[in-house]
Amino acid sequence: MAEPTELKAGNTIRLVIDNTLTQDATGTMAYLQFEQMGVDKVKTKAVSYVDHNTMQTGFMNADDHKYLQSVANRYGVLYSKAGNGICHQVQLERFDKPGETLLGSDSHTPTGGGMAMIAIGAGGLDVACAMAGIPYTMTLPEVVNVKLTGELKSGVSAKDIILKVLELKTVKGGVNKIFEYSGEGIKSLSVPERSTITNMGAELGATTSIFPSDERTREFLEKQGRGDDYSPLAADEDAVYDEVIEINLSELEPLLAAPHSPDNVKKVSEVAGTKIDQVCIGSCTNSSYTDLMNVANILKGKKVHPDVSLTISFGSKQVLNMLAQSGGLSDIIASGARLLEAACGPCIGMGQSPPTDGISLRTFNRNFYGRSGTLSAGVYLVSPETAAVSAINGYISDATQVEYEKATLPDSFLIDDSGILQPDCDFEKPLIKGPNIKDVPVGKPLAPINKKVMIKVEDNITTDHIIPGGSTVLPFRSNIEKISEFTFSQIDPEFALRCLENDGGIIIGGENYGQGSSREHAALAPLYLGIKAVITKSYARIHKQNLINSGIIPLVFVNNSDYDSIDLLDELEIIDIENLAIDTQYTVLNKTKNTQFKVAHDLTEEQIEIIKNGGLLNTIKKGNV
């Protein structure tokens, strides 16, 4: 691979990774793949979190946790136990450090950008490679400067800032971009508030988002007992950007994302009065101590409306413990809220599905169709303040209309790292693999493609559409054969069977195909089902790389209008694709319709090599990375 001659958007770079994180829903695959790399010890500061699959219906999740603990111990990875908190929140509290790099097998890894890190989400195999000491290959993004002026008024919060950016840029407006925040307005934002913004920058499709490291960063690190990790960092005075956006915080109003997309942004005042059934507060976007203290302050002395179920998931054990100490927890309990554990919980559909046709307000970052577990539900993404006020009233309400005490960072955070286990790297101890933990499927070298269309989908298909979350499907994250049965099940229940009957085929998609979660299962399950190529109008970054890593070719239409001419089960022959080469277009014969069209790709030499080998694992085994 050619080294870049200059740091210019579009160039391919190899980024040295200092830190890695995995979570249990993507981690088992990442470590199963890491095991195959023949490396004795991880080369990064690595943490393995258990936060997604903590419901343990059946033995599967508990078996995953046992495996993750044993594999972390063997290879030198810190292990954050179930109940210790959501990966991004704990990483921020205990590990993030300005100026370092972080690669995580979760799309919300950019949360660390609130701590002035280059923090990027990736598929599990890419993170396994980073743990093995292989630099991360990526396209250098364009840089968008988001200049914040003014100061937030009471009832408006960091969540409303990122919702504003989503309104301006949409869920595909950030692909191959970094959002760098600056301006006077950032001085009033604490690190957890900044991290709410960088976290949900993932919904822009952005590579990452970043804030400078300043006095607010020092303040947070000192309060976490990590003052030594501080160093000041900021953009050069004369930095040049590809694009500049200005947001005046003083003019911002409470916003929400209406069903079913994080960029379907409206003013809260526009829909105020809408009756609600459920409010869920938590997730890696909004479960910090200050978020939940604001909630506690609003709920203090009030009761949750009789028609509303309010749940609170705590970001971490530290957050929960501090709320207990400050008295905020008592106010939350007295209000009638239901307390869930410090984990992802309802955000990934692990419980708390809303009722039929229910309206649910959530402080989370994704409201994709069906993600809550109830297809007919309408999920609105809101700030913790909007959520709390609405839970009391029983309808969507504007938090600027109520008075409450705004929470500030505590004098110092309670430090108790006993939920994070230190590894002893003892190779004598066995790896514990329960019966639901199966081998990772491996692709075959590239061969001619003459296959039928197995599904045709629209724009903005998410990886949740491809492999759903929720308590029925998540237990099979370590078992690709089983999880493949659920591929596209919410939009086309016949898909998996059709693939098996036709010995695989081709997927046709629209714009921004594969947005959302980093789950490589959305590529591994299609690989298992025999999918050879995907042809779309455009891709989301992480999923595209996951397809390549699985040996599936991500192609695009040369003329997007050709999308309209293709139907389910059309037989397509992609002429000469077995000789995949850089900057080359290919003719596709639609043998069913007796027509033809052109497809292209923007794969690098390295990516072409991976596809020709039938995926990244095969390439690594050949020693070619």
Q: Give the start-end residues of each E strand in 439-580.
A: 449-456, 505-508, 531-536, 553-557, 571-574
90 binds ligand SF4 (CB under 6 A): no
Per CB under 6 A, the segment of 233-241, 271-279, 340-348, 480-488 that binds ligand SF4 is 340-348
The separation between the first and the last C-alpha atoms of the chain, rounded to the nearest angstrom, is: 10
168-227 positions binding ligand MIC, by CB under 6 A? none
C-beta of residue 540 within 8 angstroms of C-beta of residue 556: no
160 binds ligand MIC (CB under 6 A): no
548-607 positions binding ligand SF4, by CB under 6 A? none
52 binds ligand MIC (CB under 6 A): yes
How is residue 575 written in tokens?
């002429």
456 binds ligand MIC (CB under 6 A): no
Rounded-to-integer distance, Cα 625 and Cα 329, Å = 50
Q: How do strand 208-210 and strand 78-80 relate by DSSP bridges?
A: unpaired
What DSSP element (H or E) covers 457? none
Task: Report the residue number, 27 or 505, with the smaller CB distance to ligand MIC.
Answer: 27
Residue 188: CB minimum distance to ligand SF4, A? 25
Please tell me the count of residues contacting ligand SF4 according to CB under 6 A.
Answer: 11
120 binds ligand SF4 (CB under 6 A): no
Within 8 A by CB and 6+ apart from 435, the residues are 63
Task: Report the residue number, 87 or 132, with the smaller CB distance to ligand SF4.
Answer: 87
524 binds ligand SF4 (CB under 6 A): no
106 binds ligand MIC (CB under 6 A): yes
Site string for ligand SF4, 37-66 (x = CB under 6 A): ---------------x--------------
365 binds ligand SF4 (CB under 6 A): yes
Rounded-to-integer distance, Cα 347 and Cα 358, Å = 16
Residue 31: CB minimum distance to ligand MIC, A? 14
Task: Report the residue number, 106 or 331, with the smaller CB distance to ligand MIC.
Answer: 106
Task: Report the residue number, 349 or 504, with the smaller CB distance to ligand MIC.
Answer: 349
Query: How deeply is 214 buried, as exposed, middle or buried, from its count of CB atoms within 10 A (0-12, 13-18, 19+)?
Result: middle
Task: Report the residue number, 164 or 371, with the smaller CB distance to ligand SF4.
Answer: 371
81 is in the binding site of which of ligand MIC, ligand SF4, none (Cβ under 5 to 8 A by kind)? none
107 binds ligand MIC (CB under 6 A): yes
Q: Give exposure, 446-455, as e/b (b: 16+ Cβ within 10 Å).
A: beebbbbbbb
Sign of CA dihedral 158, 160, 166, 168: negative
362 binds ligand MIC (CB under 6 A): no
Residue 105: CB minimum distance to ligand MIC, A? 7
517-546 positions binding ligand MIC, by CB under 6 A? 517-519
Rounded-to-integer distance, Cα 20 and Cα 129, Å = 10
145 binds ligand MIC (CB under 6 A): no
C-beta of residue 20 within 8 angstroms of C-beta of residue 42: yes
Residue 109: CB minimum distance to ligand MIC, A? 8
108 binds ligand SF4 (CB under 6 A): yes
Residue 125: CB minimum distance to ligand MIC, A? 14
480 binds ligand MIC (CB under 6 A): no
Rounded-to-integer distance, Cα 115 and Cα 547, Å = 30
465-494 positions binding ligand SF4, by CB under 6 A? none
25 binds ligand MIC (CB under 6 A): yes
Task: Report the residue number, 190 or 463, with the smaller CB distance to ligand MIC.
Answer: 463
348 binds ligand MIC (CB under 6 A): yes
Task: Report the residue number, 86 or 165, with the smaller CB distance to ligand SF4.
Answer: 86
Rounded-to-integer distance, Cα 284 and Cα 348, Å = 11
Residue 401: CB minimum distance to ligand SF4, A? 29
Rounded-to-integer distance, Cα 3 and Cα 575, Å = 32
DSSP, collapsed to helix, strand or coil, labels residue 16 as coil
- The conformational region for residue 9 under phi > 0 = left, psi -120 to 50 = alpha, else beta, is beta
86 binds ligand SF4 (CB under 6 A): yes
Per CB under 6 A, the segment of 54-62, 185-193, 343-351, 477-485 that binds ligand SF4 is 343-351
Per CB under 6 A, the segment of 95-103, 162-170, 236-244, 342-350 that binds ligand SF4 is 342-350
283 is in the binding site of which of ligand SF4, ligand MIC, none (Cβ under 5 to 8 A by kind)? ligand SF4
Q: How do strand 571-574 and strand 505-508 relate by DSSP bridges?
A: unpaired
227-286 positions binding ligand SF4, by CB under 6 A? 283-284
Beta bridge partners of 395: 275
- DSSP letter, residue 72: H
Per CB under 6 A, the segment of 179-187, 409-417, 513-521, 595-603 that binds ligand MIC is 513-521
Task: Report the residue number, 101 or 365, with the smaller CB distance to ligand SF4.
Answer: 365
Beta bridge partners of 120: 103
Per CB under 6 A, the segment of 344-352, 408-416, 478-486, 545-553 that binds ligand SF4 is 344-352
Within 8 A by CB and 6+ apart from 497, the residues are none
In 3D space, the residue among 24, 28, 25, 52 whose CA is nearest the CA of residue 350 turns out to be 52
Task: Report the residue number, 364 or 563, with the smaller CB distance to ligand MIC.
Answer: 364
DSSP per-residue letters across 76-138: T-EEE-TTSB-HHHHHHHHT--TT-EEEESSTTGGGGGGGT-EEEE--HHHHHHHHTTPPEEE
Beta bridge partners of 146: 181, 245
Task: Report the residue number, 65 or 108, with the smaller CB distance to ligand MIC.
Answer: 108
86 is in the binding site of which of ligand SF4, ligand MIC, none (Cβ under 5 to 8 A by kind)? ligand SF4
347 binds ligand SF4 (CB under 6 A): yes
Pick from 24, 100, 106, 464 the residue near ligand SF4 by CB under 6 A.
106
229 is in the binding site of which of ligand SF4, ligand MIC, none (Cβ under 5 to 8 A by kind)? none
In 3D space, the residue among 261, 198, 162 whose CA is nearest the CA of residue 464 turns out to be 261
C-beta of residue 189 within 8 angstroms of C-beta of residue 158: yes
Task: Report the residue number, 86 or 340, with the smaller CB distance to ligand SF4.
Answer: 86
Query: How deeply is 240 buried, as exposed, middle or buried, from its count of CB atoms within 10 A (0-12, 13-18, 19+)?
Result: exposed
Rounded-to-integer distance, Cα 210 and Cα 160, Å = 17
Which positions touch ligand SF4 (CB under 6 A)?
52, 86, 106, 108, 283-284, 344, 347-348, 364-365
Which positions touch ligand MIC (CB under 6 A)?
25-26, 52, 106-108, 121, 348, 469, 516-519
